[in-house]
Structure 1
Amino acid sequence: MTEKPLGACFDSKGTCTFRVFAPRVDDMSVRIYHTGIKDYSMQKDSLGYHELCVEHCPEGACYSLIQNGEFCIADPASRCQPEDSGSISRTIDHHLFDWEEDFFSGLNPEKMIIYEAHAGTFTPQGNLRSMTARLDHLEDLGINTLLLMPVAQFSGKRGWGYLTVFPFAVHNAYGTPNDLKTLVRECHHRGIGVVLDLAFSCVPPEANVFSDLAPFRHPCYNSDWGPAINFDGPFSYGIREFYIQGALSWLQDYRVDGLKISCADRIIDRSPVHFLSELSERVENFGRSTGRTISLTAEDSCGSIVPIKRREMGGYGFHALCSDDFHNALFPPLAGETNGLYSEYTDCCKTAKSLQNGRCFNGEFSKVRMNYHGHPENGDAEGNLVVYSLNHRLAGRSPGKSRTIKSAGFKGAKLAAGATLLTPFIPMLFMGEEFAADNCFHFFCSPEAKKSELPFFHSLKDEAALYCPLNDIPAPEAEITFNGSKICWGQACRNKGQGILALHRDLIRLRRENPALATARPERTQVHTISPEAFLLLRNCGGQSQSVAALFNFSDSEKSVELSSFLPGKAWETRLCSEQEKYGGELKQLPVDVLKSEYLIQPRSFSILTHISPEGLG
């Protein structure tokens, strides 16, 4: 980090430096609870930072900040909150953890295959230790990137975690700081990178106490979720540094390999240099100084490509951008969805465009949104798109049909897997989809946090209404809502679960091993519309001998196609069909003589064809 670290930070000799940004406070001290209670006065500098060095400070000691000799609060940059959002923080010496020769240096963002998971519902136990015990499943599946929904300290025991109260601390209901480090270390030993989901959209009510220290809340702006963070008002230099250091701390102290910024469009900042642009520059510098590849992904509900434009072109310099358009265009033919926003994606041209470009709206008017949507196409974007048939947010707004197998059936769920994993973008799977989990993933929170979560809840309901006005999201504070969202691992052992799990394994293996599929390269992809419900996707990496073709049939009837007019060369073979018996289908034998006659595509299925090199022909 280029600036002095905030919070309680140890050096290698055991000296702990306490530092807090509190320009509104004249007298600040640290109260340490260890074999008694002792207060230590801090020194304030001209920029409003208070600092104190304590030699031989005990690791794991509890402490609080004392304002003007009387008011006791937790450290905003606390590394550990043993009592949730209470006034007690705990010191953590990150030098003490044994990383066991972890030399993992990150992943090329273009080669990521992402698995999104929620720490509290991924296992029955709902903690980081039990998640670590399930990593063999991800390794066997072929996943190389684990995206964790927010794990920073929020209010209450359970929740999605986007209303972060302590952006440096691991949520205590999920486990200890060492539990997260162990998860990251064990991921790295399996060749899996870890990306954390962060949110900078608002200051939650539980963090209002910190406003006595500094103006964390913006004096003029509010986001949909609550008071906006002060990224451009008075004293914003310290607020920006606070949140940037919070983001960098996950990279430095926990060795995570990337960050995903949720709802980037809800971050209000009118500074000459946008907060996310500054963050990406600091992350880039950190990666350069440590020799690590750090990925940055953004989520933008307006369809803007600004996050993945180069900083010198007015963008933020991120590597990837999430695309809801892909899901929106996939589900009308996949599940027959025509309500609300889906009605604007029913044209087969939208499906073809999503397979080719990952986005469908490029600045056109959206009647359902009642606004123009998306960014006009241009060559300024340097990053790539993350595509998915489902993610946590899409699942949370569609109760009853939040799982693909519920909305599209078994064949549709396999089709969704093929479309996601074969397109020329960065694919992302949502936990449980790989074995056709059928339980809903709801929005949930603790009863004591319901009031503070209401703006987020209403925002989610408004988003759900865009897709289906009749959607009724269950009570988030109910325990049954939370428990019902947990993965049921027994479903992976059912016949359908085993079939679709085998399909995911083979698709991911093919994507990782075949040069035409291994890297997200839209410019080397062609999409042909065979019929309104059937498409051919052709990918290559520079030579026809390394080409792969995928045929998708979304209709309930068999489709035939003369492939010789689409495929280069003369030697092709069928590599895989989603209706094979081993994937839970009825197809006993793969088609042969691919180019000699019309090729039949099974109803609601996809097939993969690979080019046979001269060596392969013998």
Structure 2
Amino acid sequence: MTAPSWQLDLGATPSPAGTRFRVWAPRAKTVSVIGAGETAHELPLHREGEYFVGQSTDFRAGDRYRYLLDGTLLRPDPASRCQPEGVHGPSQVVDLTGFAWSDADWRGIDLTDLITYELHVGTFTPAGTFAAIIEELEYLVELGITAIELMPVGQFPGSRNWGYDGVYPYAPQHSYGGHAGLKQLVDACHRKGLAVVLDVVYNHLGPEGNYLHAFAPYFTDRYRTPWGEAVNFDGPYSDGVRHYVVANALHWLTEYHVDALRLDAIHGIFDFSPRHILRELAEAVHELSEELGRPLQVIAESDLNDVRTITPVDRGGHGLDAQWADDFHHALRAFLTGERQGYYGDFGAFSQLVTAFREGFVYSGQYSPFRKRRHGSSTATAPPRQLLVFAQNHDQIGNRPRGDRLGAVLTADQLRLVAAAVILSPYLPLIFMGEEYGEPAPFPYFVSHGDSALVDAVRRGRREEFATFAWQGEIPDPQGEATFRAARLDRTLRDREPHCRLLAFYRELFRLRRELPPLRRPSRAGTGITAFGREQVLVMVRSADAETLVCLFNFSAGEQALPLPGPAGRYRKLVDSAAEPWGGAGSPAAGHTAATALVLLAPFSAVVYRKE
């Protein structure tokens, strides 16, 4: 792996010549570094434009410090690499060059090859640490995963949090294992051939421990977000904010060797400047990718269905590599469960499920009853590899009153059908931790704030949010430790019936996805979708490298007999979700051949044939 020329110019950077400090504080008159604990040193910094800079041999790696602004405010470093005492404590000088990386031969994962496993560090294992994840990597490789996606790890209040309340974007959560633990995890992933995607939050910072206001106008009241003030990307002093965010992205990719970034809720990012911050960030990442000689991706989460996000810059877009396609999930869940609360009211028709398979977005400019306006833009010209689809993720599980998973409402047959729909789709599949074996543990929202008023506000906000969805039932206390503990996975279920059969089915689907060219190379040109509306059967024909597959999805509760489409000839069955090895009631085994005539589909089943 090539060493990058880019170096972070914010925060505390130790070297043999002494530790250099640089902090953005345009409105301050004076700034000093004040040692904490046994380090009682003080280093006055000098102004360089909007920044204050200084260097001293009195501060070394391991020392703790704060900034003193105008002789009155003592605050942690906005670009702190480590917060050993939590969000309210001092920052710590960290030597990030001393880690012995072993991934020199790592060449990354192409976007097309991403099979992503989203996980939450604190609940994925009993220990809830980066180190504990390393012990599970062989399991993920055998499952067929090519990338893990970590929910946000920037330092947050307490030890229980989804990560979206982080307030130190440069400091990996100390209770997870901090900077050293994250490096060990990424290094171990690369040794196993796994890429690492990191979820980052640039649309807001959490309220508790957020001391950025003391330094500079990081936020603006010109726009409002669901989380309060918007990040100041286009107002006075916004150059420093943009640098802080773009540098953070490059920091994860260089200092921690992360392979891709998932940008949280970009619909909460407001920027009307000529060069949008998303474009600036993506261009910086792609320039770094060229220098390093390995793929680095920027993936967005967006509620906008705006294809400009992934449209190349030379065609007027922001140039991101991919984005999540929530509509695929909504169409799938609403049709199978019958749910119509909140935004699910926009979905539920079989025709919308067909549109999701064909286009990714269901709403591409049509009127949305939920939003009471037209919504979305067309993805007809976007390659399928630019859309990530899923049946479950942290939001779609956790943003329910009890954090219940799909297994709470779907049958075993339906769960296998859903898995096949996602993994065999023309898009990039993502699954959520435990989904592959039918983990029953919920994933509700949880926090561990130290501010009682904030805790009350979070509880009240959750109740109000679910009231708009007309969901009934008790809401687990977000602050309660029991809520957090209930979300931990039970890994022993993997070896028990019926979980082990579902797990085996996921393995087989991922194997087909990796090994068969029509599935491995998403392309609209090689994909045809046929719908049988009365039977509620969707047929997908995919071709590549002179190989043709026919994937049939029966979304109805009854058996269906349909002609096998595709070129004339005989087809060999590769997998059937209704087969006994996967826990189904039974069907002709894999290896069975059929002509382009009638084939029988079990209720709620998926079948794959290959032309011989």
Could you state the TM-score of these two structures normalised by the residue count of structure 1?
0.93
From 29, 42, 45, the equivalent of 2:32 is 29
User: What are the residue-to-residue correspondences of 1:15-414 with 2, within 5 Å?
Assistant: 15-33=18-36, 36-46=39-49, 48-55=50-57, 57-206=59-208, 208-377=210-379, 379=381, 384-400=386-402, 402-414=404-416
Which residues in structure 2 correspond to 1:478-497 (within 5 Å)? 478-497=480-499
Structure-2 separation of matches of 1:108 and 1:411: 33
**1:104 and 1:470 mapped to 2: Cα distance?**
49
Cα distance between partner residues in 2 of 1:596 and 1:292: 44
Q: 1:186 to 1:461 in 2, by over 3 A?
A: farther
Contact 1:306 1:314 in 2 (8 A): yes
CA shift, 1:345, in A, is 2.3
User: SS where residue 94 of structure 1 aligns?
Assistant: coil
**Percent of aligned positions with the same letter in both sequences?**
31
| C-alpha distance 460-132 of structure 1, shift in aligned 2 (>3 A) | farther
Q: Secondary structure at the match of 2:572?
A: strand
Distance 2:567 2:461 in 1: 49
Distance 2:241 2:112 in 1: 32
Instruction: Give 2:578's aligned amino acid.
Output: E
Between 161-170 and 577-586, the greater mean CA deviation after superposition: 577-586
Q: Which moved more, 1:142-151 or 1:210-219?
A: 210-219
| Separation in structure 1 between the aligned mates of residue 176 and residue 53 of structure 2, nearest angstrom | 31
**CA-CA distance at 1:367 after TM superposition:** 0.9
Q: Distance in 2 between matches of 1:497 and 1:577?
A: 17
Q: After superposition, where does 1:442-481 map in structure 2 within 5 Å?
A: 442-448=444-450, 451-452=453-454, 469-470=471-472, 473-481=475-483
Alignment partner, residue 610 of structure 2:
610
Q: Residue deviations 1:103-156, cap 9 Å, x none?
A: 222211121000000001111221111112111111110100101100011122
Q: How far off its partner does 1:446 sit? A: 0.8
| Shift of residue 14, structure 1, vs aligned partner | 6.2
In the alignment, what sits opposite 1:580?
A: 579
- After TM superposition, give the deviation of residue 199 of structure 1 in Å: 1.2
List gaps (5 residues or longer) in structure 2.
Answer: none
Letter in 2 for 1:374: G
* Aligned-partner residue type, residue 217 of structure 1: F
Matching residue of 2:537: 534
CA distance in 1, matches of 2:28, 2:119: 40
Amino acid paired to 1:329: A
* In 1, Cα distance between equivalents of 2:470 and 2:384: 34
User: Which amino acid in 2 is paired with 1:590?
Assistant: A
Equivalent pair of 2:459/2:477 in contact (CA under 8 Å): no
Q: 1: distance between equivalents of 2:467 and 2:321?
A: 31
User: Judging changes above 3 Å, is the alpha-carbon distance between structure 1 residues 408 and 466 closer, same or farther for their aligned structure 2 residues?
Assistant: farther
When residues 244 and 382 of structure 1 are mapped into structure 2, their CA distance, relative to the original with a 3 A threshold, is farther
Question: What letter corresponds to residue 13 of structure 2 in structure 1?
Answer: C
What is the letter of the counterpart of residue 571 of structure 1?
A: R
Shift of 1:577: 0.7
Residue 176 of structure 1: how far off its partner (Å):
2.0
- Residues in 1 aligned to 2:144 and 2:384: alpha-carbon distance in whole angstroms: 27
The 1:467–1:506 alpha-carbon spacing in structure 2 relative to 1, beyond 3 Å, is farther
Q: Tell me, which stretches of 5 or more residues in structure 1 are unaligned?
A: 613-618
The one-letter code matched in structure 1 to 2:582 is: Y
* Shift of residue 296, structure 1, vs aligned partner: 0.8
CA distance in 2, matches of 1:338, 1:514: 37
Counterpart AA for 1:31:
I
Secondary structure class of the residue paired with 1:551? strand
User: Which one-letter code corresponds to 2:326 in the other structure?
Assistant: D
| Aligned amino acid, residue 330 of structure 1 | L
The more displaced of 421-430 and 168-177 is 168-177
Structure 1 window deviating more from structure 2 (182-191 vs 597-606): it is: 597-606
Distance 1:213 1:605, change over 3 A: same
Aligned to 1:615: none
State yes or no: 1:8 paired with 2:12: yes
Deviation of 1:379 after TM superposition, in Å, equals 3.0
Q: Quick check: 1:29–1:39 contact (8 Å CA) kept in 2?
A: yes
Counterpart of 1:368 in 2: which secondary structure? Answer: coil
Q: Secondary structure of 1:120's match?
A: helix
Deviation per CA, 1:158-178: give whole Å up to 9, x if none: 111112211100011211211
Q: Is the 8 A contact 1:305 1:321 kept in 2?
A: no
From the superposition, tell whether residues 120 and 3 of structure 1 become closer, same or farther in structure 2 (CA, over 3 Å). Answer: closer
Assess, with a 3 A threshold, how the Cα gap between structure 1 residues 501 and 3 changes in structure 2: closer, same or farther.
closer
Is the 8 Å Cα contact of residues 14 and 57 (structure 1) preserved in structure 2?
no
- Give the conservation status (yes or no) of the 8 Å contact 2:477–2:483: yes
One-letter amino acid of the structure 1 residue matched with residue 112 of structure 2: E
Structure 1 residue 10 displacement after superposition: 3.2
Report the CA distance between 1:405 and its aligned residue: 1.4
Task: Give the letter aligned to residue 241 of structure 1.
Answer: H
Shift of 1:536: 0.8
Distance 1:451 1:534, change over 3 A: farther
Flag the 1:204–1:339 CA change in 2: closer, same or farther, 3 A: closer
**Higher alpha-carbon deviation: 325-334 or 339-348:** 339-348
Deviations 1:549-596 (A, max 9, x none): 111112221111111xx1114131001111222211232642734116
Instruction: Give the stretch that moved more between structures: 329-338 or 439-448.
Output: 329-338
Structure 1 residues 401 and 205, CA, compared in 2 at 3 Å: closer, same or farther?
Answer: closer
CA-to-aligned-CA distance 1:441-493 (integer Å, 9 cap, x gap)? 10111142675577777777676566654365422111121111111112212
Say if 2:144 and 2:507, in contact at 8 Å, map to a contact too. Answer: yes
Question: Do 2:208 and 2:451's aligned partners in 1 also have CA atoms closer than 8 Å?
Answer: no
- Contact 1:84/1:153 (8 A) holds in 2: yes
Once the 2 structures are TM-superposed, how far is the Cα of residue 186 of structure 1 from its aligned partner? Answer: 0.7
CA distance in 1, matches of 2:8, 2:433: 38
- Which region of structure 1 is more displaced relative to structure 2, 431-440 or 548-557? 548-557
Q: Is the 8 A contact 1:397 1:473 kept in 2?
A: no
Q: Distance in 2 between the 1:417 and 1:230 partners?
A: 40
Helix, strand or coil: the match of 2:540? strand
1:579 maps to a residue whose letter is A
Tell whether the 8 Å contact from 2:232 to 2:241 is kept in structure 1 after alignment.
yes
Aligned-partner Cα distance in 2 for 1:552–1:244: 43
TM-score, scaled to structure 2 = 0.94
Q: Does the residue aligned with 2:450 lie in a helix, a strand or coil?
A: helix
Deviation at 1:610? 1.2
2: CA distance, partners of 1:380 / 1:602: 34
Aligned residue type for 1:534:
V
Deviation at 1:337, TM superposition (A): 3.1
In structure 2, what residue type is equivalent to 1:9? Answer: T
Write the distance in 1 (CA, Å) between the matches of 2:403 and 2:36.
Answer: 50
- C-alpha separation between the residues in 2 aligned to 1:597 and 1:569? 9
Q: Which moved more, 1:497-506 or 1:298-307?
A: 298-307
Per-residue CA deviation, residues 521-569 of structure 1 (Å, 9 max, x unaligned), is 23321111134421111111253xx111111112221111111xx1114
Mean alpha-carbon deviation: is it higher for 49-58 or for 403-412? 49-58
Counterpart residue identity of residue 604, structure 1: F
CA distance in 2, matches of 1:453, 1:272: 39
After TM superposition, give the deviation of residue 53 of structure 1 in Å.
Answer: 2.0
Q: Which residue in 2 is equivalent to 1:556? A: 557
- Shift of the 599–381 alpha-carbon distance from structure 1 to 2, 3 Å rule, reads closer
Deviations 1:595-615 (A, max 9, x none): 164210111111111122xxx
Report SS of the residue matched to 2:578: coil
Aligned 8 A contact 1:404 1:412 in 2 = no
Structure 1 counterpart of 2:558, one-letter code: S
State whether residues 163 and 453 of structure 1, in contact with CA within 8 Å, keep that contact through their aligned partners in structure 2: no
